[in-house]
Structures are given as structure tokens and as C-alpha cells.
Amino acid sequence: MAKTTPALFFKQVRQEVAKVTWPTRRETTILTTMVFVMVVVAALFFLVVDQIFAWSVKLLFGLGG
């Protein structure tokens, strides 16, 4: 295996980074908003499911108040 010098390594890194297509500010904002919305939706879903399970356990076993 060929040895790579640090200078060559950083040169290759710069070449690879130059190939990256970076998202625009608008794309980043939209995707970030979508992630936050999905987190809220998932949290609400699991809250409802948890409440249904808690209600079911109380009903079946007479536990809780």
C-alpha cells in the first residue's frame, strides 16, 4: 500500500470537498422546518398511544387513580 503524505492527503481532501454540492440557505431552512414538524408529529403520536395504553392498563387491571 502506498504511503500518503499529509500534504497529499489535504490536497485530496480539498479536491473531494470541491465536488460536494452544498444546499442553499432556502433548502436548509425548509428541511430543518420539516424535521421539526415531523418531531412534533411523532411526539404527539407517541403521547396519544401512551395515553391509550395507560387507559387500557387501568381499565384491565384496575390500577391507578
CA atoms within 13 A on the CB side of 43: 6
For 23, phi and psi rounded to 5 degrees?
-70, 155
Domain ranges of the chain: 24-65
pTM of the predicted model as reported, rounded to 2 decimal places:
0.66
> In this predicted model, what pLDDT tens digit does every residue of 8-59 receive, in sequence order?
999 999 999 999 999 999 999 999 999 999 999 999 999 999 999 999 989 9
Distance, in Å, from the CA atom of 1 to the CA atom of 29, rounded to the nearest integer, reads 44
How high is the pLDDT of residue 23?
Answer: 95
Distance, in Å, from the CA atom of 49 to the CA atom of 15, rounded to the nearest integer, reads 49
Contact (CB, 8 A) for 8 and 2: no
